Structure 1
Amino acid sequence: MNTRVVVTGLGVCAPNGVGLYNFYDSLQSGASGITFHQELADLGFGCQIAGKPEISESLKESYFTPLQLKGLNSSGVVYGVMAGTDAWMDAGLGKANKDKPDWDSGIIFGTGILGIDKLRESIYLIDDNNTRRLGSNSVMQTMASGISAYLGGILGCGNQVTTNSSACATGTEGVIMGLERIRSGKAKKMLVGSCNDSGPYIWGGFDAMRILPSNYNDDPEEASRPMSATAAGFVPGSGAGALVLESLGSALDRGAKIYAEVLGGAVNSGGQRGAGSMTAPNSEAVQRCILDALSDAGIERSEVDVINGHLTATSKDAEEIKNWSEALKRSGKDFPFINSTKGMVGHCLAAAGSVECVASLLQYRAGVVFGNRNCQDIHPDILKLVDVSQIPRKTIAHRPKIIAKASFGFGDVNACIIFKEYKKR
C-alpha cells in the first residue's frame, strides 16, 4: 500500500477530438463533437444526434496490420486500440520484442458491448448457412475481452491482460483496478481504459427508453446540457480513453514525464435499494463511494479543488450535485470547481469514465479547469448549493491540486478516483 502510482501516458479517441492535441484544443475552446446522423433519422430514431469519433481509413491503417484490418467491423476495437496504443507511446514505452513478453506490464481495458456490428453480420451469415465466411477474427471482435486481447498482442504485455464491464462506471473502475494491481506489487505498469462501440444497435435501446433529447436534431451542438435547467436527456456517444499507470519508482528510473499521481479510489453499489434502481443511483451509496475514495487517498474533504462529475444532462444532475455537497460538506463559493465533459462529447457509455479521466488529467498539464458547455441556465436546485463562480462556462486558469473524478452506472454501481498534482515528497 506504500507504492506510489503515477500516470505517465494518455490516449484518447473522442467525438470532439482524436488524439491528445485535438482533444485538448476542443476542451479548451468548448468545441462540441455532437452531430446529426442521417442513419438514425432513416431508422426512425427520435434522437437523431450522437457523438462519434471521426476515423479515416488512412489513420486506421497506421494502427492495424493489413491482416488485422481484414474483416474488422468493430468500432469499439478501433477506438480502443488507437487510444491504448497512443497512451503507451505517449508514456515513452515500446512494444515488447517478438520472442518475449513484458512480464511487468499488464492491461485492464473495459467495454460495454463490443463488436455488435460484427455480431450482427455474423448472425446473418450463420442464418444463411455461410458460416465459413465468418472469418478468423469474428470471435476476437465480439468477445468482451477482445479489446484487451488486441492491445495485449500489439504491445506484448505479459502481466494481467483482462477486461471489466460495469456500464457507465467501467472506465473509472478500470483505473482503480490498475491502481490496486500496482500497489500490491503485482505489476509495474498497467494500461487501463475503456471503449464503446458506436451506432444504432448500441444507441437504440436508450432511444426506446425515451431518455435521449429528441428536440435538438436541428441543433446538435446545443443538445447535451449538463447541470442546465433545460437539460432534456443525455446524448449518446462513443469512443475510448486510455491511461498508463506506473509505479513511481519505475517512472523515475526511466525518466518518464508524469501527468499526476493517483492517490486512491473506491467502487461500490447501492444494491438497487432505497431510491436506487437499475437506472437511478442510491444517494447514500454515491456519498459513501466519494468518502471511501477520499479515505483511500488519505485526503480531507477540504482538499478537493476540482470535480469532474458524471453529470449526464438529465434530471439526476441536481441530485448528483447534492450528493457531492453532502459528502464533502461544502457549498456556495466553498464548493470545488466542477465540470462535465459530456457537454462536448455526449455520454460515451462504457468509455465515459476513461475519456473523462483523460480530460481531467489534461487540466494538470495546462494549469486550467475546462469550462462547461450549454449550462448558461444552471438548474435552480444546483444554484441553491453551488455558487455560480464554481461552474465555469469557459476554460479558466487554475492549477488543480486534487481532482475527484466519479462515474455512476446502470445497475446502481459507482466509482470514484482521486488524482493529485505530482510533487516529489
Structure 2
Amino acid sequence: MERRVVITGMGVTAPNGVDISSFEKSLRNGKSGIRYFKQLDELNFSCQIGGKPEISEELLNKYFTPLQLRGLNSSGIIYGVIAGTDAWKDAGLKIEQNDYPDWDSGIIFGTGILGVDKFREAIHLIDEGKTRRLGSTSVLQTMASGISAYLGGILGCGNQVTTNSSACTTGTEALLMGYDRIKAGKAKRMLVGSCGDHGPYIWGGFDAMRILPNKYNDEPEKASRPMSASASGFIPGSGAGALVLEDLESAKRRGARIYAEVLGGDINSGGQRGEGSMTAANNEAVERCIQNALKNSNISSNDVDLINGHLTATNRDSVEIINWTKALNRTKNDFPMINSIKGMTGHCLSASGSIECVASVLQIHHKFIFPNINCDDIHPEILKLIDQDKIPREQKEQEINVLAKASFGFGDVNAVVIFKKYIA
C-alpha cells in the first residue's frame, strides 16, 4: 500500500519566536530577531550581532526538572527539547510515564556542533586536574546524538532514535529521512528536526572567514538582506525546529489535525567537483536535486506556487535564483513566488532547515506568504531573471497548494522537500 505522510505537529525555538503562535505572528509582521551582543564586541568580532532565541528561566522550568538543569550548558539541547516536546504535544500525542516504549514512534533530530560551551568548561576542568568535577551529564551534552537521546527519553520513543549532521542541510535532510522511514512502513510517526548552539565558539569561525557583515552592528535588524543588492554576508543564528510526521491512516485514526502533506523530495551532493567546493554548491547538483524532488513527488515544475529558498544574503543568492529558473524552466512573471526567512532570523546554520520547514508549513496551513524584509533593493542580477512582484515585500494572503523548500550546506550537500496542502 502506498503510504501518504502528513504533518500533525510542530514546534519552534527561533530568534523571532519561541512557540508556534509567536513565530507565525513574527513571520506575518516581518519581525526580526537579530540583536547586538556585547560579548561579541568585547571579543573583537567584526560582526557583533546574531539571532538567538530568548529563553526565560520560567520557560526552562516547564521543560526540565531541577536535576536536569543542574550543569546543563548546551543551548542546542535546550532549544531542541523545547521545540521537540512542543511538536509532540501539538500533534495531540501524550508523554506517557510508564515502562513501555512507543515502538511505533521514532526520532531523527540533527545538529551541527553540540555542547561547545560544555566542551570548553570540560577542557578547563580536565587541564586543571579536576576531571571528577565534570558531572554526570558532560558526555550526554557533548555527544552529537545528545539531542535525540534527550528527546527519546522524554518521549519514550522505541523506534529509530538518531541524529544526522549535514551542515545547513541538516534539518531538511532529517525531515526527508523520517519521511522515507514512514513511507517504507518502518514507523507510524517520526519526530524530525534539528537544533544549533549559539555564541562566539560557534560563530567565530564564520567571522574569521569574513563572510559575516560588519557594518550593521548599530542596526542589527537591517543586517540580514537576502536577495538584496546591498547584502554583504549572512548573520549567524541559532535555535531549533521540529515536526511530527505521521502515516496518514494513523493520523486519521487519531483524529489528528493535519497541517500539510509531504509529497517527497531529494537529497544529493555535488561531490565538490566542477564549480562545487567545500563552501560553494555545484550548480548542476542543485538543479538535479530540485528536479528529482519534483519527480519523486509526482508533480511538474508548473505546480509549484511558492519557493522557500536557502537564500542566505550572500553573493550566492543570485546564483541560487539562476539554478531555480533552470531547474523549473520558469522565469520572469511565470516564476513562482519566493521568500527567505533569513532576513528575520539570520542563518540558523544546522537549525535553519527545520525552522524554515516549520515556516513553510505554516504558510500552507494558514494561507499566507511572509514578506522578504530588507529587500527594497533587489539584486539586479535577480531582476534579470524574475519579476520583482515574485519577491513579496509585504505579507500576502494567498492560498498555497504546493511549496518547495530547499537547503544547501557546506560540503556541497543539498536537500529539497515538497510540501502540499492536505486534501483528504
- TM-score norm. by structure 2 comes to 0.99
Question: Residue 69 of structure 1 corresponds to which residue in structure 2?
Answer: 69
Displacement of 1:252 in angstroms is 0.2
Which residues of structure 2 form unaligned runs of 5+? none
Deviations 1:320-363 (A, max 9, x none): 00000000000111100000000000000000000000000111
Paired residues of 2:226 and 2:313 also in contact (CA < 8 A): yes
* Structure 1 partner of 2:186: 186
The 3-state SS of whatever aligns with 2:168 is coil
Secondary structure in 1 matching 2:63: coil
Tell me the SS of whatever aligns to 1:386.
coil
Equivalent AA in structure 2 for residue 71 of structure 1: G
1:11-410 to 2 correspondence within 5 Å?
11-410=11-410
Aligned residues: 424
Contact 1:35–1:50 at 8 Å: present in 2 too?
Answer: yes
Q: Write the letter of the residue equivalent to 1:366.
A: H
- SS of the residue corresponding to residue 418 of structure 2 reads strand
Provide the rounded CA distance (Å) in 2 between the counterparts of 1:165 and 1:408. 13
TM-superposed CA distance for 1:97, in Å, is: 3.3
Distance 1:11 1:348 in 2: 16
What is the match of residue 7 of structure 1?
A: 7
Contact 1:400 1:421 in 2 (8 A): yes
Cα offset, 1:397, TM superposition: 1.0
Q: Which amino acid aligns with 2:172?
A: T
User: What's the % identity of the aligned pairs?
Assistant: 68
- Give the Cα separation in 1 of the matches to 2:199 and 2:184: 39
Q: Deviations over 1:179-212 (max 9, x none)?
A: 0000000000000000000000000000000000
CA contact under 8 A between 1:102 and 1:158: conserved in structure 2?
yes
CA distance in structure 2 between the partners assigned to 1:236 and 1:104 by the alignment:
36
Alpha-carbon distance between aligned partners in 2 of 1:154 and 1:367, rounded to the nearest angstrom? 33
1:365, distance to aligned residue in structure 2 (A): 2.2
Q: Retained in 2: the 8 A contact 1:96–1:157? A: no
What is the distance in 1 between the residues matched to 2:38 and 2:353? Answer: 28
Matches of 2:59 and 2:2 in 1, distance apart? 41
Q: Tell me how far 1:67 sits from its aligned partner.
A: 1.2
Residue type of the alignment partner of 2:406:
A
Gaps of 5+ in 1: none
Structure 2 match to 1:421: 421
Tell me how far 1:284 sits from its aligned partner.
0.1
C-alpha distance in structure 2 between counterparts of 1:174 and 1:294, whole Å: 18
**What does the per-residue CA deviation read over 1:103-146, in whole Å, with 9 as the maximum and x for residues that have no partner?**
00000000000000001000100011111110000000000000
> What is the CA–CA distance in structure 1 between the aligned matches of 2:58 and 2:132, rounded to whole Å?
29
Secondary structure, aligned partner of 1:78: helix
Structure 1 counterpart of 2:279, which letter? T
Whole-Å separation in 2 of the counterparts to 1:46 and 1:106: 42
Q: TM-score, normalised by structure 1?
A: 0.99
Conservation of the 8 A alpha-carbon contact between 2:365 and 2:421:
no
2: CA distance, partners of 1:330 / 1:2: 31
Letter in 2 for 1:63: Y
**Equivalent residues of 1:403, 1:419 under 8 A apart:** yes
- Deviation, structure 1 residue 28: 0.3
Q: For the residues of structure 1 that align with 2:400 and 2:97, how far apart are their CA atoms? A: 39
1:386-409 deviation per Cα after TM superposition (whole angstroms, max 9, x unaligned): 111110001101111000000000
